[in-house]
Every structure is written in C-alpha cells, then in structure tokens.
Amino acid sequence: MLLKRVKAKNIKDSRSDWTIEVSVNGCKASSPSGKSKGKYETPSFRKSLNWNIKILNSLNFPNINISSFNDILKVESFLKRKFKLKNAKQFGANTLFALESAVLKALAKEKNIQLFQLFPKPKKIPVPVGNAIGGGLHSHNKNKPIFQEFLLIPKEKKFKDNIKVMDSIYQQLKKQVQTNEKNDEGAWQTPLNNEQVLKLLSQQKNIRVGIDAAASSFYNNKYYNYRNKQLNTAAQVSYIHSLIKQYNLFYIEDPLQEEDFQGFAKVMHSPKHLIVGDDLTATQISRLKKAIKTKSINAMIIKPNQNGSLIELKQIFDICKKHKIKTILSHRSGETMDNALADLAVGFGADFIKCGIATKWREVKLKRLVEIEKSLK
C-alpha cells in the first residue's frame, strides 16, 4: 500500500478542546488529548496544532510502501530525515499517533481485514477498568475527592458481561451519591472525600476496586496536600497501605508523585495488588526501565498519545511482558469518537483497557471490544 493521500484537520475532543484528525488514503484516525499530563510525556505537537496540520497537508510521502505493522518505521524514518529529528516523536505525539493509526487503518482496509488482525495472533480480550466516581483535575465541582479516579474492575470471563457489571454498579452509584453531574471522563462528581467514596465502592458486589490517586497533582513542597492534612512521603506510603488494607484495593495508580521511584517501591504490597505507574512512567521506555530496575511497579498505564510512536508502544508491551508487568492501555480525559484503542488493546495483548464506563466517546471503544470478542469465537 502506497501512501497516496494524507490529509489533516483539527477537530474537537470530548472536552471541546482542539486536537488532530489525520486521513490516509481515505481512512481517518484521531488523537485524544490529556488534561492530567505527566512531566515526561512527549509534547503533543512539534510547534503547534496548526503547524502540524499545515505540514501534513503539504507533505508528500514519496514511494513509501506499507505492507505490515513494522513498515510504519518507514514513516518515522521519513519524518526524521525530512525534519532533521533525533526521534520521530519530536514531530509531536498526537500528530504521530494519529498519522500511524490512520496508516494502519488504511492497510487493514486494503487487506480487507480488521485493524487488530494486523498484529500476530491477536486473541486476548483485555479486562475493562472503569472510572465510576471522579475527583482531582478531571472534576469541576468545588468540593471533591482529592484522588482523581475511583475505579471498577470486573472479573467476569466475557467482556460483554464485564460491561454489564460495570454499567449496573455505575447506575447504582448515581443514586447513592445523588448526582446527575459527570466529570471530563463521564464519572460521577461528588463532594464525598476519598474514604467515603472507597467505603461506598467496597460495598458493591462482584467487583474489584481501584484508585488513580494522581498524586503529583496534589504534591507540593515535599508534602501531599489533602483537605485537612499534609503528609510527607513516609506518611503518604503509610496512608496508601492503610487504604489497601481497609478497602481491599486491587488497583493503585500513581500513589506517589512522578519522581518518586523509591516511594512506589515501598508501596508495593503483594502480587495480589497492582501498583500502577502512569505519570511515573509516562509511556516512555527509559522510565519503564528505571521502574523495573527499582522494582517500583508491577503494572503500567500505556497511553498511545503520551508517546506517539506505535513502534515504541510495541517495544513497551514486549518489555512489560518480559518482566511480568501488567499492561493497561488507556484513553485520555479529552477523547474522540475513534475506536482504534480497542483494536490496539487486542493487537498488543493488553491485560486491561482503561476507557471509562459512560459517554459516547467511551462507549464506542467498549462496543468495539464486544464486536471483536464476538469475531474471535
């Protein structure tokens, strides 16, 4: 497949912020945009969104023939030569991801196969991780939990049954927190504090409970700042341990700030609990290797537009599998209607997928995974 027609334009994400959509040979792909950004993320665009769009609309990809997933290396090599980049990611993570995703969609269409079938032996369906109640930077109410996400992780065998469990509990929680307000990710907004929300979730049946503390967002001057207390690192580790024990937390994401590999290592509880790096690792190979060396995590959030290169994403998945690090392919708070995240989760063999529970931008990914599950029977 030759790259004959490459076009780009700006579109609005679920937060009504501008992001990029790229079309390759008539196949469209778009990139989400994050609000809670890690310090080590790849910049979204090279100079600006409009600059990237202008460049793509004027750029010719001469005689680049794509016949397999690995051939997107040709696209990256071309961009590096054309713009004298050390790494194709410097072209902008959002732009590069949307471009490479569109290339793969066009290749799948030409081969008359589904997107996930471009990957070898794609058979694994991930477990959904759903954001049910929100706080932190994703929520807009004045009084809110300090932690950013309170998560549901179902344990049914079939993906469609997991979706039913999450949706049922999500609707029950609406009545229990007495709200109609949703945050950026479709989670219920509430004035409850961390412990009150966790108590509520721990009472639900047929579900495992998780948190995304997003601790960097409330860390300042060497303290973690809560509503009525400040905790140093040792006290924060002790606090997280107490929450794990009291509420039987299965999933603990970013319990400490993004520089504290040693603190993460101290939080490591047992193999039964996932200590998840997000801002800590920022979907970067160098950060993942450091986390492995320091034994800081046993699970990792992987966000395509946090890196940009699907080639590097594959390497990250391979490294995680080698070191028995569980993988969670994740959406962003500002999402689009592109459902490719579902195909990538199956293709890369992700253990979990984190793409919310409600709103059309999340549901399109969940529905796509139900379709894939049916097709694999």
Pick 29 or 270 by higher pLDDT.
29
b/e map 242-279, b = 16+ CB within 10 Å: ebbeebebbbbbbbbbbebbebbbbbebeeebbbbbbb
Q: What is the mean pLDDT of residues 356-368?
A: 96
What's the mean pLDDT in 303-311? 97
DSSP assignment letter at 43: P
For the segment 87-122, what is each residue's pLDDT rounded down to a tens digit?
A: 999 999 999 999 999 999 999 999 999 999 999 876
At 6, list the tokens. Answer: 């490459």
Mean pLDDT of 5-33: 96
| Strand order across the beta sheet in which 223-225 lies | 219-220, 223-225, 230-231
Q: Please provide the average confidence, as pLDDT, over all residues in the chain.
A: 95
**Buried/exposed code over 302-324 (b: 16+ C-beta within 10 A; e: otherwise):** bbbbbbbbbbbbbebbebbeeee
What's the pLDDT at 138?
75
- Tens digits of per-residue pLDDT, 229-284? 999 999 999 999 999 999 999 999 999 999 999 999 999 867 789 999 999 999 99
3-class secondary-structure state, position 365: helix
Question: How many Å apart are CA 264 and CA 73, to the nearest integer?
Answer: 34
Q: Among 82, 66, 84, which residue's Cα sits nearest to residue 74?
A: 66
DSSP string, 237-250: HHHHHHHHHHHT-S
354 φ/ψ sector (left φ>0, alpha ψ -120 to 50, else beta): beta
* Mean pLDDT, range 305-330, rounded to an integer: 97
What pLDDT score does 139 carry?
A: 82
User: What pLDDT, in 10s, does the model give residues 132-157?
Assistant: 999 888 787 778 999 999 999 999 99
DSSP conformation class of 182: B
325 and 358 in contact (C-beta within 8 Å)?
Answer: no
Judged against a pLDDT cut of 90, whether residue 332 lies above it is answered with: yes
In the chain the first and final C-alpha atoms are separated, in Å, by 30
**Percent of residues, the chain, with pLDDT higher than 90:** 88
Give the CA angle between residues 18, 317, 107 to the nearest 5°.
Answer: 60
Report, as an integer, the average pLDDT of 292-298: 97
Active site residues: 185, 303
pLDDT band with cut points at 50, 70 and 90 for residue 36: low
Q: Write down all domains in the chain, each with its CATH number in brackets.
A: 6-114 (3.30.390.10), 127-375 (3.20.20.120)
Question: Which amino acid, residue 69?
Answer: F
Cβ-based neighbours of 257, under 8 Å, separated by 6 or more = 215, 216, 219, 224, 263, 279
- Per-residue pLDDT, averaged over 11-17, amounts to 95
Least confident of 46-60, 174-188, 205-219, 233-247: 174-188
Of 186, 115, 133, whose CA–CA distance to 369 is shortest?
115
Angstrom CA distances, 132 to 115, 135, 149, 250, stand at: 29, 10, 7, 15
